[in-house]
Amino acid sequence: MFNNTFNTLYFWFETGCQHIFNLSAWDHISMVLLMVISTQGIKNVLIQISAFTIGHGISLLLLTLPQWHVASQIVELAITSSVLIYSGLIFKSFHLKHLQPMRYFSLIIFGMLHGLGFIKQTELFFAQESFWPILIGFNFGIECAQLGIALFVFVFYLFLSLLCSPLILKKTQKTMLLCITAIALYFTVVQFFSVFL
Ordered per-residue pLDDT tens for the chain, 197 residues: 667 888 888 988 998 899 888 888 899 999 999 998 888 778 888 888 889 989 988 888 887 776 666 778 888 999 999 999 999 888 776 444 554 677 788 899 999 999 888 765 666 665 556 778 888 888 899 889 999 999 998 888 888 888 888 888 888 888 999 999 999 999 999 999 998 87
pLDDT of 134: 81
Phi and psi angles of residue 4, each rounded to the nearest 5 degrees, phi first: -65, -45
Q: Could you please report the per-residue DSSP string of 101-144?
A: HHHHHHHHHHHHHHHGGGHHHHHHHHT-S-HHHHHHHHHHHHHH
Query: 84: exposed, middle or buried (C-beta count within 10 Å: 0-12, 13-18, 19+)?
Result: buried
43-66 b/e with 16+ CB inside 10 Å = b? Answer: ebbbbbbbbbbbbbbebbeebeee
